[in-house]
């Protein structure tokens, strides 16, 4: 076995929230052989495993992880015509930046989303009116049970809102993903913040590069600045029935919601937390709600995972009590 297994490694520096205890065992995998070796090691010692990418959507408990944490560092980007195949360990925004530089349309609205390509696929990341699944043509994943690589077409990935088969089936570890992009695309500028940006800058027909610049500017304005820790959007946007939406709209006329085309509405968690619960800017010790974006819970320095979860629980209970809507965490708990 060629892979190097480390012991008792502090996990906080590997996450953007900057909290958490130690991993009993820790392995960095650079290729599929490393990944296979790591799985064999875990199997021989009967260890649970946790797959870690960029750590941008992960909250590690103070107790750490008693098994093997496998950090995916598989790199490589290959272009063929309008297709780009990116390895799971590539940083997502590096891929977006590169595709925009090559004048390939499709994922520009997902600019500056933190994390790796693998994490982007697992979560089916979405932002400003676009989801990753819209351009994914296939995914390669390592099947732990069979110790082999499997290829999944888009339909087989079972993509949903912030989810996929890879999130549900822990025996599948993403190795790479192929995206079908376009040399000539239509800009997605209907999202409120994006539309306002171009109106304010008097740009009526934005170029691909201008769209990326807009998304980056919008996100930078909202996101916490290091060393403040964050795991990004902490909660998903809840989906409710049309009847429930109408009831909420009667009580909260300004509520933000988006029709889903199936007699349901997706509510803005940020709006609920900010305008119903008035949580934006709230603080409990070193854990708090970001003052510029209510959907983001932050670590101001010395917060523990348990303190962050306690704050999240307060928010959930408050929103539930006032609206009857249950918020669900988007962040993955280790």
Catalytic positions, please?
162, 233, 330
Tokens coding 16: 């953007």
For residues 158 and 62, give the distance between their C-alpha atoms in angstroms, rounded to a whole number.
33
**Which residue carries 């052989």 as its tokens?**
33
Integer Cα distance of 187 and 152 in angstroms: 28
Main-chain phi, psi angles of 116, to 5 degrees: -100, 170
Residue 237 main-chain phi, psi, to 5 deg: -85, 120
- For residue 94, the 8-state DSSP code is H
Distances (CA, A) of 135 to 71, 88, 107, 125, 146: 25, 16, 7, 12, 28
Token pair, residue 323, equals 């609206």
* Three-state DSSP class for residue 184: coil
- Length of the chain, in residues: 334
DSSP designation for 54:
S
Decide: helix, strand or coil at residue 117.
helix
Nearest CA among 172, 314, 328 for reference residue 239: 328
């Amino acid at each position: 076995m060629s892979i190097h297994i480390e012991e008792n490694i502090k996990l906080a520096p590997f996450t953007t929230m900057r909290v958490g205890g130690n991993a009993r065992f820790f392995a960095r995998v650079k290729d599929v052989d490393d990944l296979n070796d790591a799985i064999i090691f875990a199997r021989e010692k009967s260890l649970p495993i946790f797959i870690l990418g960029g750590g941008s959507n992960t909250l590690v408990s103070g107790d750490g992880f008693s098994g093997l944490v496998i950090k995916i560092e598989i790199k490589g980007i290959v272009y063929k015509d309008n297709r780009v195949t990116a390895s799971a360990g590539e940083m997502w925004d590096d891929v977006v930046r590169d595709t925009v530089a090559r004048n390939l349309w499709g994922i520009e609205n997902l600019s500056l989303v933190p994390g790796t390509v693998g994490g982007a696929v697992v979560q089916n990341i979405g932002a400003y009116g676009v989801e990753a699944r819209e351009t994914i043509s296939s995914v390669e994943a390592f099947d732990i049970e069979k110790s082999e690589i499997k290829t999944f077409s888009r339909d087989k990935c079972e993509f949903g809102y912030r989810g996929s088969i890879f999130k549900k089936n822990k025996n599948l570890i993403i190795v790479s993903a192929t995206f079908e992009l376009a040399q000539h695309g239509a800009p997605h500028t209907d999202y409120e913040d994006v539309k306002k940006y171009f109106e304010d800058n008097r740009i009526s027909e934005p170029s691909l590069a201008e769209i990326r610049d807009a998304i980056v500017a919008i996100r930078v304005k909202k996101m916490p600045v290091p060393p403040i820790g964050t795991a990004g959007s902490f909660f998903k946007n809840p989906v409710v029935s049309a009847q429930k939406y109408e009831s909420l709209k009667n009580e909260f006329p300004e509520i933000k919601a988006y029709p889903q085309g199936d007699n349901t509405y997706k509510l803005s968690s940020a709006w609920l937390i900010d305008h119903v619960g008035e949580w934006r800017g709230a603080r409990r010790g070193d854990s708090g709600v970001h003052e510029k974006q209510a959907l983001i819970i932050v670590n101001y320095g010395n917060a523990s995972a348990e303190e962050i979860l306690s704050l999240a629980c307060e928010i959930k209970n408050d929103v539930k009590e006032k609206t009857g809507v249950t918020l669900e965490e988007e962040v993955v708990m280790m």
